[in-house]
Amino acid sequence: MLLRIVASVLIPPLGAFLAVGLSAHFFLNILLTLLGYLPGAIHAVWLNVR
């Protein structure tokens, strides 16, 4: 789990992929990351913690 959280902070789409695979959350995370790094990172961490 620690590896997924670190990946979520460094590369948010990778962290989201490790948490949910190729689902709508993954593509939403890519969009959020393109709009700004911080929203993508927060979303990816949230996916891994829940």
C-alpha distances in Å from residue 14, one per residue of 11, 36? 6, 15
Query: What digits encode the pLDDT tens for the residues 1-50?
Result: 899 999 999 999 999 999 999 999 999 999 999 999 999 999 999 999 98
Longest dimension (CA), the chain: 26
- CB atoms under 10 Å from CB of 12, counted, come to 24
Whole-number pLDDT of residue 50: 87
Distance, CA of 4 to CA of 35 (rounded, Å): 22
Whole-number pLDDT of residue 1: 86
> How many residues are there in the chain?
50
Residue 15 tokens, joined: 């962290």
- What predicted TM-score, i.e. pTM, was given to this entire model? 0.93
